[in-house]
Structure 1
Amino acid sequence: MVPRKSPKLDKKQVAETALRLLNDVGLEGLSLRAIAKELDVQAPALYWHFKNKQDLLDEMATEMMRRMAADWAGMSSGGDEGADWQEALRARLRGLRGHLLRYRDGAKVYSGTHFTDLSFAEPMEGNLRMLTAAGFTPARAARAWFTAYTYTIGYVIEEQAMGGRPGGADGAGGAQGAGGVEGYDLAARAERLAAYPLAVEAGWEMFQDQERGFEVGLEAVLAGIAVTLRGSGAS
């Protein structure tokens, strides 16, 4: 019997397969064994490239960054005159959110990982260059970008955690009902929290229309950056 030869794999191919599989099984169900089965190879073949699941997540996040960087490459990095730094940040952060939402648990995969190449460096340099051209010091440009960037990642982590969850003590109650995201029955939540009217009202605001919620929060972040990091009255 002639032994079957395994196809030659590289990290990028494995990461691309893992991102496709992620939408089917989620982060908890993703494993090197499951990916090996998808690639029709033995699991030990993957251990040549990844010591453990965290190594795999690092490469998946890097592949996500490569795809984002390709999109960001077409955006203007701003200039010395007439640069609208707030609109530039809006575009980049909307793009970040959109990319994270392409994958089930995408924000969890992306957060807290270490990039395995320098694909992040060019877009990061462009973002900081745009902010410094708009009047930020280098240190404040870094803080402004990091603040807006982490707001976006954190928002999407919560957004994806709410969608499709089967229930819990925080007010989720099975299938979507009476408004809200999937898994959140806001009418049932309001009934359970009847003695806490402000908490009830907060639920209607927080758990409906995630697109609008992101935009409202983003405007608050940008307004705060304008006042505290660039200077009061800056545009």
Structure 2
Amino acid sequence: MPPKLDPAQVVDTALRLLDETGLDGLTLRRIATELDVKAPALYWHFANKQALLDAMATEMLRRMSAGHATLPDTWSEALTLTCRGLRAALLGYRDGAKVFSGTRLTDHGFAEGQHALLAVFVRAGFELADAVQAFTTGYAYTIGFVIEEQAVHPAPGERAPGYDPERRAAAIDPAYALAAAAGHDLFDGFERRFERGLAVVVAGVEHVLGPSTTKRP
């Protein structure tokens, strides 16, 4: 095994390079060059890029969890805080949501935080299955939202080509005026839109899954 090279060092380097290259440009060869080793040296630790992405997502979650305060006792506040924290963590990395989405965590370090959140729901009277549904709905909303947000703004202050609302509106057939006018609500105001969408998720959880409701299919 190559000396002076460990998986944590590779992951740390990969996360640092992610802001420079984006997910598509992040290759094992590029990481090896940064570490001043040959690419095959990385295969001692990661069989392929997906294995590296799994490790990167795990480290992202570890860093996010390290700064978390105690969750509020109210389930709606706990879910809101968790989703806000996840979004902030993902926005800390270029293509952070794409890296995190669909990966398999490589250890069980997530269990403490997940248990704490689910416990808030259970103490509020939710069945465990409904608590899991509530958590995963908020999680999926946040991941999907940030993927779209980072497509428009790959980095703070940067707008990707093709996401200019005015140009989009001018290019759309006038017969589809509503679609043309939707550009600003699709590609601007992400902070406001995230908060409004999160409020919709919380209201939906209360309406469909809340312990005082008649459960709906």
The separation in 1 between residues aligned to 2:187 and 2:84, in whole angstroms, is: 19
Q: Which amino acid aligns with 1:126?
A: A
Q: Which amino acid aligns with 1:94?
A: R
Match of 1:87 among 73, 77, 80: 77
Determine whether 1:157 maps to 2:147. yes
Determine whether 1:211 maps to 2:207. no
Aligned partner of residue 175 in structure 2, secondary structure: coil
Q: What residue number does 1:130 align with?
A: 120
Note the 1:27-106 alignment, pairs <5 A: 27-72=23-68, 74-76=69-71, 78=72, 83-106=73-96
Q: Which runs of 5+ in 1 are unaligned?
A: 166-175
The separation in 1 between residues aligned to 2:154 and 2:61, in whole angstroms, is: 25
Q: Which amino acid aligns with 2:74?
A: D
The separation in 1 between residues aligned to 2:43 and 2:88, in whole angstroms, is: 31
**CA separation of 1:66 and 1:200: change in aligned 2, threshold 3 A:** same
Q: Which amino acid aligns with 1:219?
A: A
Q: Which amino acid aligns with 1:222?
A: V
**CA separation of 1:22 and 1:197: change in aligned 2, threshold 3 A:** same
Aligned partner of residue 75 in structure 1, secondary structure: coil
Q: What residue number does 1:169 align with?
A: none
Aligned partner of residue 209 in structure 2, secondary structure: helix
Pairwise CA distance, 1:115: 0.5
Q: What residue number does 2:13 align with?
A: 17
Q: Which amino acid aligns with 1:32?
A: L
The separation in 2 between residues aligned to 1:201 and 1:232, in whole angstroms, is: 40
Which structure carries more relative contact order (alpha carbon 8 Å, separation 6+)?
2
Q: Which runs of 5+ in 2 are unaligned?
A: none
Q: What residue number does 1:196 align with?
A: 176
Pairwise CA distance, 1:7: 4.3
Pairwise CA distance, 1:55: 0.4
The separation in 2 between residues aligned to 1:51 and 1:132, in whole angstroms, is: 40
The separation in 2 between residues aligned to 1:212 and 1:160, in whole angstroms, is: 15
Bigger CA radius of gyration: 1
Q: Which moved further from structure 2: 155-164 or 210-219?
A: 155-164
Q: Which amino acid aligns with 1:75?
A: T
Number of residue equivalences: 210
Q: What CA deviation, in whole Å up to 9, does each residue of 1:7-44 have, x standing for no partner?
A: 42221221111000000001111111111111111211
CA contact (8 A) 1:206 1:213 kept: no
RMSD after superposition = 2.0
The separation in 1 between residues aligned to 2:79 and 2:95, in whole angstroms, is: 24
The separation in 2 between residues aligned to 1:231 and 1:198, in whole angstroms, is: 39
Pairwise CA distance, 1:201: 2.6
Q: TM-score, normalised by structure 1?
A: 0.84
Q: Which amino acid aligns with 1:106?
A: G
4+ aligned runs moved over 3 Å, structure 1: none
Pairwise CA distance, 1:75: 2.2
| Identity value in percent | 54
The separation in 2 between residues aligned to 1:151 and 1:39, in whole angstroms, is: 36
Q: What residue number does 1:8 align with?
A: 4
Higher percent of residues as helix: 2
